Amino acid sequence: MKEEFLHYVWRFQKYRKQQLKTYRGSLLKVLKVGTPNPNAGPDFLMAHICVDDKQWVGHVEIHINSSDWMVHGHDTDSNYDNVILHVVWENDIEICLPNGHFLEVLELKDLVSENLLHHYARLVEGLPQFIACERECAKVPSLVIEKWLERLYVERLENKVTQVNDLLDLTKNHWEAVCFYLIAQAFGMKVNGSAFLSMAQSIDFKIIRKCTSHPVVMEALFLGQAGLLEEECTDAYFKFLQSTYRYLQLKFGIENAHVERPQFFRLRPNNFPTIRLSQLAVLWSSKPTIFGALIKIDSVKEAYRLFEVDAAYYWKDHYRFGVVSKSRPKAISKLLVHSILLNVVIPLQLVYAAKYGKEIWSQVETLSKQIPIEKNKVIRNYEKLFLFENHAWNGQALLQMHKRYCSEKRCANCGVGAFLLKELSHSNTF
């Protein structure tokens, strides 16, 4: 039994309601289940219920066992003083409120049909698969999937918007600094994103501005702060960057002791931190006011032109210092541009527009649907299960679905899982 299943049962009233009574024997009518609370506090807010002939308005808390009220510390948390109903699978103890009254309890274990329990168990506890419902999700109408993916895209985007707002608070609304931090993080991609962000935030943005006219100085600054100029190496370019960085340390009083170190392990050579940091240095040196351009981008082709940048010449035949490789340009890839659009440009545009009272959602939707869908194992597995359009909007939504719902088996909270529970609980097959 999982608590999220009880959330589903309560929210959609999937229990026997005839002659409904509380555990203490009072007649119970549910007029409004309340609003799901995504934040800390009671699970459902402002529910309306009738206990005997008295109407109550307040919050609903849901647990597997009523004793979880004590386990979770609700007895000493004033946020739970306005709870009017405790919905539990099993009432193993009675809860007394600070006012001396017992908390009314709805026990569900004898009110939920065996059929619904069976189908939920099959979804959540079935044999290991890519996702729990993969044998049945083809039965879900395309409109249900489309609406669910739309919600998931917004949900994933909300997390990115939150980061932008947090960085704006941290920098006192310094848009260009926030833009730099986010682009640096994007250049690090999945493996080195946090390390590149750590490097970027370790440098006062005033120093970045002072170095923009000298790309090699900028490269020395980034590589040095990332800890990539600390080893001994006889390579002439390495020594030049190292001496430049040491000069910058003395000039600006900077240090990198607390900067997270980037990794080379399991990375393709084009994604080595040496290459990516050099590209970032060249980009920021050539386009120090890139923020103004980013908030206006409305097409992928325009983004390709803006990020048409190579790493420094040295890296044309190197991936690591002192190790010569086959000569080839180290341009910013289209895949990286797509990542920047999704993780930097669109969130920045949304927050910037909101700050100035503009509505740009249709522009965001158009741009995200121009970006090709990411091709990875997760997306390919979903392609085998149901149809969806191949653009980044759906790709981002599917990644959110897999990470936050399928992997955690939160089937009752998933649009696809909730539909299947509703439909399949009325049939004898699964």
pLDDT per position as a tens digit, 242-272: 999 999 999 999 999 999 999 998 899 999 9
The residue among 64, 79, 112 that closes a domain is 112
Residue where a domain stops, chosen among 367, 393, 418: 367
Question: Does 228 share its domain with 202?
Answer: yes
Q: Which of 59-68, 124-133, 308-317, 339-348 has the lowest mean pLDDT?
A: 124-133
Using the predicted structure, report yes or no on whether residue 332 has a pLDDT greater than 90.
Answer: yes
Shared-domain flag, residues 19 and 32: yes
- Furthest C-alpha separation in the chain: 87
Q: What is the mean pLDDT of residues 53-73?
A: 91
In the chain, how many domains are there? 3
| Tokens, residue 268 | 């393709």
Distance separating alpha carbons of residues 233 and 229, to the nearest angstrom: 9
Summarize pLDDT for 189-241 with one digit per residue, the tens.
999 999 999 999 999 999 999 999 999 999 999 999 999 999 889 999 999 99
Residues 125 and 196 reside in one and the same domain: no
Same domain assignment for residues 19 and 105: yes
Per DSSP, 406 falls in state: I
**pLDDT, tens digit, 9 for 90 and up, residues 105-139:** 999 988 988 888 877 776 666 555 788 888 788 88
Residues 153 and 191 in one domain: no
Tell me what pLDDT residue 342 has.
97
Residues 160, 58 within the same domain: no
Q: Which residues of 110-142 are buried (b: 16+ CB within 10 A; e: fewer)?
A: ebbeeebeebbebbbeeeeeebbbbebbeebee
Q: What single-letter DSSP state applies at residue 27?
A: B
Q: Report residue 337: phi and psi, to 5°.
A: -60, -40
- Segments forming the whole domain that contains residue 93: 3-112
Q: Is the pTM higher than 0.85?
A: no
| 285 and 183 housed in the same domain | yes
* The pLDDT of residue 265: 87
Does pLDDT of 7 surpass 60? yes
Judge if 206 and 162 occupy the same domain: no
pLDDT at position 108 is: 92
- Residues 101, 198, single domain; the answer is no
Looking at the fold, whether 407 and 275 belong to one and the same domain comes out as no
Q: Do residues 207 and 303 share a domain?
A: yes
Using an 8 Å Cβ cutoff, are 222 and 207 in contact?
A: no
Residue 426 confidence (pLDDT) above 80: no
pLDDT at 5: 85
d(CA 382, CA 399): 10
Give the residue from 60, 77, 112 where a domain finishes. 112
347 plus 383 within the same structural domain: no
Angle CA 394–398–402, to nearest 5: 175
Q: Identify the band that residue 430 occupies on the pLDDT scale cut at 50, 70 and 90.
A: very low
